[in-house]
């Protein structure tokens, strides 16, 4: 079992990665705290597409952010809270579990 205080970090790099979102939904529903960082083309996800994939997940259990550089390159930096590379590294180091999709 994972640390009760720890966060699972999910690094999602593909737009529309159903397996990643299904996994996030299952883990959040099981009570885990999930932090998702969208990378590469995944920064093009919208609230609607993620909401559709996640269903009714408790919003206190799942936080979505985007890699700042990837969002700027794709001109969607206003879509998600941004995290820089240093923040991603720090999140990886502090996470109870890291899953890269």
Rounded distance, CA 81 to CA 97, Å? 21
CATH code assigned at 82 = 3.40.1260.10
Across the beta sheet with 62-67, the strand order is 82-83, 62-67, 33-38, 7-12, 97-100
- 66: containing domain: 7-100
Q: What percent of the chain has pLDDT over 70?
A: 95
Single out the residue of 47, 45, 33, 40 nearest to residue 5, CA to CA: 33
Residue 66 lies in a domain: yes
Q: What is the DSSP string of 2-23?
A: --SS-EEEEEE-STT-HHHHHH
Residue 1 lies in a domain: no
Asked whether the whole model's pTM tops 0.75, one would answer yes
Residue 93 lies in a domain: yes
Is 90 exceeded by the pLDDT of residue 1? no
> Sorting pLDDT into bands at 50, 70 and 90, what band is 3?
very low
Number of domains in the chain: 1
Residue 86 lies in a domain: yes
Is 90 exceeded by the pLDDT of residue 58? no
Rounded distance, CA 71 to CA 74, Å? 5
């Amino acid at each position: 079992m994972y640390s009760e205080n720890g966060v699972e970090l999910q690094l999602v790099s593909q737009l529309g990665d159903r397996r990643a979102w299904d996994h996030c939904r299952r883990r959040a529903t099981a009570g885990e705290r999930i932090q998702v960082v969208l990378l590469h083309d995944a920064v093009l996800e919208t609230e609607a597409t993620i909401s559709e994939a996640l269903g009714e997940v408790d919003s206190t259990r799942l936080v979505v952010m985007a890699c700042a550089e990837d969002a700027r390159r794709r001109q969607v930096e206003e879509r998600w809270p941004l995290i820089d590379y240093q923040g991603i590294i720090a999140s990886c180091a502090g996470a109870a579990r890291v899953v890269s999709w």
